[in-house]
């Protein structure tokens, strides 16, 4: 494995989003904080039904995870689509790196960006809420799997898209609805039975719920059983990215 080449590409992707940190790190954290402020005053001191936890505390892990998912997707998708629009993605195809080395570098940078944004978000809120860690292992597993899944989906979306309009369609009509309807702002137990069943087909639901369980110790599903689902989905995403990059899907056209 070309470790030096993989590390070089990883550094390039990392420096790319750190150079505009106000846009890629500070802005997403600020957006999530604004969500919290609005919902804090809208919901007051109400508790989430069946969980015995106040709504403000319930909301924080979900927003942190949603921020991670969206930023992991944005990091890989923006890199690929910018390269295609500027017609410089050909240099990636010519680089002495295998498909798996490319995928590892892109996904590692996406995970790093997701972790940095979520950490900034949680650190800003630490003085205002007593948020304990119930199970650090769950936080780590779900955060890592979620970032890999969304980074992979961003890579696939970037390869599929021909321009920024196509990329916006994927982001606005697929990624955004799936994340918003995954239980970030509510417990699915509050939904009618039919929609509860529908929510269980949304893979992002397991990511949000498992991540929240790591902080609060409560959730809508068994986080230890859901680990298999999200880990399998993460593996399938990585393999799909590897195969599509290996054959140059929509990159050699």
In this prediction, residue 105 carries a pLDDT of 97
pLDDT at site 47? 80
Domain ranges across the chain: 3-246
pLDDT of residue 30: 82
pLDDT of residue 235: 97
What distance in Å separates the CA atoms of residue 186 and residue 48, rounded to the nearest whole number? 8
The terminus-to-terminus CA distance of the chain in angstroms comes to 27
Residue 76 pLDDT grade (very low, low, confident, very high; cuts 50, 70, 90): very high
- pLDDT for res 24: 83
Pairwise pLDDT comparison (191 vs 131), residue with the higher score: 191
For residues 13-22, average pLDDT: 90
- In tens, the pLDDT along 80-115 reads 999 988 888 888 888 899 999 999 999 999 999 999
Extract the tokens encoding 51.
């969980």
Most confidently predicted of 53-62, 194-203, 233-242? 233-242
Q: What's the pLDDT at 158?
A: 94
What's the confidence (pLDDT) of residue 163?
Answer: 87
pLDDT for 191: 87
Q: pLDDT-derived band of residue 40, with 50, 70 and 90 as boundaries?
A: confident
Q: What is the pLDDT of residue 25?
A: 82
In the chain, DSSP assigns E strands to none
Is the pLDDT higher at 236 or at 31? Answer: 236
pLDDT more than 90, % of the chain = 49
Residue 160 Cα to chain centre, angstroms: 19
User: CB of 77 within 8 A of CB of 155?
Assistant: yes
**Looking at the predicted structure, is the pLDDT value of residue 125 above 90?**
no
Are the C-beta atoms of 125 and 37 separated by less than 8 Å? no
Residue 27: Cβ within 10 Å count: 13
The span from the CA of 111 to the CA of 115, in Å, is 6
The full DSSP string for 82-109 is HHHHTT-THHHHHSS--HHHHHHHHHHH
Structure confidence by residue, pLDDT tens digits, 205-221: 999 999 999 999 988 88
Please check the confidence at residue 50 and state whether its pLDDT lies above 80.
no
User: What's residue 99's pLDDT?
Assistant: 95
Average pLDDT of the chain, as a whole number: 89
């Amino acid at each position: 494995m070309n470790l030096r080449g993989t590390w070089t590409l990883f550094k390039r992707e990392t420096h790319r989003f750190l150079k505009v940190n106000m846009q890629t790190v500070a802005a997403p954290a600020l957006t999530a904080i604004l969500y919290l402020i609005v919902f804090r005053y809208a919901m007051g001191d109400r508790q989430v039904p069946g969980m015995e936890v106040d709504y403000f505390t319930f909301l924080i892990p979900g927003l942190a995870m949603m921020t991670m998912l969206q930023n992991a997707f944005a990091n890989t998708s923006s890199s690929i689509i910018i390269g295609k629009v500027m017609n410089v993605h050909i240099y990636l195809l010519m680089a002495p790196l295998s498909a798996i080395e490319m995928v590892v570098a892109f996904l590692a940078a996406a995970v790093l960006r997701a972790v940095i944004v979520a950490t900034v978000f949680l650190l800003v809120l630490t003085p205002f809420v007593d948020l304990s860690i119930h199970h650090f292992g769950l936080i780590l597993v779900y955060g890592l799997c979620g970032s890999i899944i969304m980074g992979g989906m961003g890579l696939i979306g970037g390869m599929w898209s021909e321009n920024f309009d196509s990329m916006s369609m994927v982001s606005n009509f697929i990624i955004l609805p799936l994340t918003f309807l995954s239980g970030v702002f509510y417990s699915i137990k509050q939904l009618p039975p039919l929609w509860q069943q529908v929510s269980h087909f949304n893979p992002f639901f397991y990511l949000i719920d498992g991540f929240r369980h790591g902080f609060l110790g409560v959730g809508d599903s068994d986080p230890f059983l859901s680990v298999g689902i999200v880990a399998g989905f993460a593996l399938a995403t990585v393999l799909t990215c590897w195969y599509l990059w290996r054959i140059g899907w929509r990159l050699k056209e």
